[in-house]
Amino acid sequence: MTINFNELNNLQLDVLREIGNIGAGNAVSALAKMINRRIDMSVPKVKILEFNEIPEMLNAPEEPVVGILLGMTGDITGHILFMLDRKSARLLVNMLFGFKESTSEEFDELEMSAIKELGNIMTGSYVAALSMLTNFKILCSVPNVAIDMASAILSVPAIEFGMLGETVLYIAAEFNEGDNKVIGDFFLIPDIDSYETLLKTLGVII
């Protein structure tokens, strides 16, 4: 099976956007609960990109970013990646610890495990929303964090999408706590077999 995301019609894109919306919304409210603050979220954007556009679309493809990857098992298998820039990761870590005013873009061991937990909760609630929409049972693995060049982190979902077609589909989420802006991207990366199952269940392909 090959899927060409460029050929999806508006209705199908709306379905994907809605998954992103609900998933990211769920993730953000989990985060708000965790740090006990109000967080506003803009409507997530669903983006479709050709592979060769990937390095260009990143503002700084060589800049280190934080990637949090979890495996999915159950009715849908695959991965979910949550990627955010180091500034956003720092903001979230500071909020989590409450008292921190650090601006450092390096993270110590404790902060790294906080980032893992953050990814765990956010992707977990994202997957919970997906699970609710589809009635699928989906389990997540423990999170794995990598801090490296944006383009290198992105190669992980890109390669998975590469087995299906010529484009990558992802959901860009942006949220604010007061004046602090956090920008994160969710990549839902089902395995080839799960893709069809997922899109069929959601009525995106018939």
Partner 1 sequence: MHENIKVGMADYKATGHPSILVTLGLGSCVGIALYEPSTKIIGLAHIMLPTSKISKAVVNEAKFADTAIVRLVEDMVKLGANRRTIKAKLAGGAQMFNFTDFNDNIRIGLRNIEASRDVLAQLDIPIVSEDVGGNHGRTIELYSDDGRLLIKTVGFGINYI
Least separation in angstroms between CB 164 and partner 1: 9
Cβ–Cβ contacts within 10 Å for residue 50, how many? 13
Segment near partner 1 (CB under 8 A), from 10-18, 117-125, 148-156, 180-188? 148-156
The one among 12, 35, 64, 105 contacting partner 1 by CB under 8 A = 64
Q: How many helices (H) and strands (E) does the chain have?
A: 6, 8
Can residue 59 be called a binding residue for partner 1 (CB under 8 A)? Answer: no
- Where b means 16+ CB within 10 Å and e means fewer, 73-103 reads eebbbbbbbbbbbbbbbbbbbbbbeeeeeee
Segment near partner 1 (CB under 8 A), from 11-19, 115-123, 150-158, 170-178? 150-158
Can residue 185 be called a binding residue for partner 1 (CB under 8 A)? Answer: no
Is 67:83 a contact under the CB 8 Å cutoff?
A: yes
The one among 112, 128, 156, 202 contacting partner 1 by CB under 8 A = 156
Can residue 42 be called a binding residue for partner 1 (CB under 8 A)? Answer: no
The one among 18, 22, 34, 61 contacting partner 1 by CB under 8 A = 61
Is 148:62 a contact under the CB 8 Å cutoff?
A: no
Amino acid found at 19: I
Can residue 9 be called a binding residue for partner 1 (CB under 8 A)? Answer: no
Contacts (Cβ under 8 Å, ≥6 apart) of 134? 75, 76, 198, 201, 202
Can residue 105 be called a binding residue for partner 1 (CB under 8 A)? Answer: no
Cβ–Cβ contacts within 10 Å for residue 166, how many? 15
Can residue 89 be called a binding residue for partner 1 (CB under 8 A)? Answer: no
Of 139, 120, 130, 124, which Cα lies nearest the Cα of 21? 130
Can residue 67 be called a binding residue for partner 1 (CB under 8 A)? Answer: yes
The residues that touch partner 1, with contacts defined as CB under 8 A, are: 1-2, 51-56, 61-62, 64, 67, 69, 71, 79, 141, 144, 146-156, 158-160, 162-163, 165-166, 191
